[in-house]
Amino acid sequence: MKDILSSTPAMLLLVIGSYYIGTLLYRRLRSAWVHPVAVAMILCIVVLLILGIDYSTFQAGTAFLDFLLGPTVVALGYLLYEQLEHLRGREIAIFVATIIGASVGIASVVLLGYFFNLDEALIASLAPKSATMPIAIPLSEQSGGLPAITAVVVFLTGIVGSLIGPWLLDKCGITHPIARGLALGSASHGIGTSRAIELGAIEGAVSGLAIGLTGVAISLLLPLVEWMI
């Protein structure tokens, strides 16, 4: 019986079903605190704990969904194409903002890690937290991190960013759609981008661009930081 429950179809059904339930809750309550991804993650964790299924089994069963993350990020390029006229003349500002965002994301983890005397493997697992999952996992492995921890941290980063990101931007008086999209995409990748799309077409398109740029920036900066320390 456990073999059936831990099979690939069962794992896919668990993820898709959990996300569907999360979507229903979100549509009913219209609250960022019941974000479909957050609800799905909690439901999956609870079910796996009840059934006694370990993470490696779950990861193997949902490998197809992991593969789809890459094409999904690329598909965001269509949104960007529709909003190109809003980005012309702002290329340098977008590039600089992305580099600064990626640098702060990595530096904050490294500094806090050394301040609290964290293990180097844990620091390596947390450092790529602002990169999208298909980029963060390989970077974590190459740096000696633990992919399982990186996966959880990336999810949590995205969820927290989508929950408090728009509120924080409002409090800081940041109203320009390009700035808001860059902030959400560079800090909270795909999940933040889904929230940015809800805010507006420009925010969503720029957030999708920020995912790719931030991933490239972190890929280039992370080895440099490791060499320096």
Domain ranges of the chain: 2-61, 77-228
* Rounded (10°) CA dihedral 65, 50, 6, 10: -60
CA distances to 93, 97, 178, 181, 193 from 88, in Å:
11, 15, 12, 15, 21
pLDDT at 1: 59
pLDDT at 141: 86
> Distance between CA 36 and CA 23 in Å, rounded?
5
pLDDT at 204: 85
Q: Where are the beta strands (DSSP E) in the chain?
A: none
pLDDT at 20: 92
> Distance between CA 181 and CA 42 in Å, rounded?
27
Residues 6+ apart with CB under 8 A from 133: 66, 69, 151, 154, 189, 190
pLDDT at 21: 93
Could you tell me how far CA 148 lies from the centroid of its own chain?
14
pTM confidence score: 0.77
pLDDT at 228: 52
| Tokens of residue 107, six digits | 């530096």
pLDDT one digit per residue (tens) for the chain, 229 residues: 556 667 888 888 999 999 999 899 988 887 767 878 888 888 998 999 998 888 788 888 888 887 777 677 677 677 777 777 777 878 888 888 888 888 888 888 888 888 888 888 888 888 888 888 888 888 888 888 888 888 888 888 888 888 888 889 999 998 988 889 888 988 888 888 888 888 888 888 888 888 888 888 888 888 776 665 5
